[in-house]
Amino acid sequence: MTSQDVILGILMKRSLSGYDIKHMFETIFSYFYNASFGTIYPTLSKMEKEGLLTKESVIQQGRPNKNVYSITEEGQKHFKAYMYSPIQTNEFKSDAMTRLFFGEFIEVEVIIEYLENGVTSTKEDLERLRKMYENGKSNSLMSQTQELCIQIGIENMESTLRTLMAGIERLSNLKVEEGQNESG
């Protein structure tokens, strides 16, 4: 799975500009995919040259022109080929988890701070996801599988949140015990 596959998938439903695609990465895709402009624009140009997409310049009033890309039949073939190819394992690298893992080498307070930041940002992400879910559901903008997708995201975040909060409690108790040992 590369950005090309994902972009092709996005263009299956409607024609969009690179800027629009970036917006989708930052919203509904945010919890399982992402790509920067530095990837999106060159990928779109490349695919147009290869005949997977066609470009149309759209002149807008009060806004810069934009290049709207549409998927061709050849592009649809490529997308289908991706969808039937062997599935790749998830790529996951977590700085937060890594630091937690090595927590014994620094002060408990710092770890608690990590976890508290984790709680804050997870809560924000969760709120955003829930809003997207409610919004998409009430407007019937989501397919059945997209709904499932977002549910997995929400439930994973909820689970992470629970564990994070339990962790803070446990480490806080640990800190209190340490303090008692020092003074006692």
Partner DNA sequence: ACAGGCATGTAATCGGTTACATGATTGT
Partner DNA sequence: ACAATCATGTAACCGATTACATGCCTGT
The residues that touch DNA, with contacts defined as CB under 7 A, are: 2-4, 17-20, 23, 34-39, 41-45, 60, 62-68
Tell me the backbone φ, ψ of residue 157, rounded to 5 degrees: -65, -40
From DNA, a second copy, none, interface partner of 71 (C-beta below 5 to 8 A by class): none
27 lies in the site for a second copy, by CB under 8 A:
no
x/- mask, a second copy, residues 97-116, rule CB under 8 A, reads: xxxxxxxxxx---xx--x--
89 lies in the site for a second copy, by CB under 8 A:
yes
From DNA, a second copy, none, interface partner of 102 (C-beta below 5 to 8 A by class): a second copy
Please give the distance of CA 67 from its chain centroid, rounded to a whole number.
24
Collect all residues with Cβ–Cβ distance below 8 Å to 31 and sequence separation of at least 6.
125, 129, 153, 157
| Other CB atoms within 10 Å distance of the CB of residue 133 | 18
Least CB distance to a second copy at residue 88 (A): 4
Alpha carbon distance 141, 159 (integer Å): 26
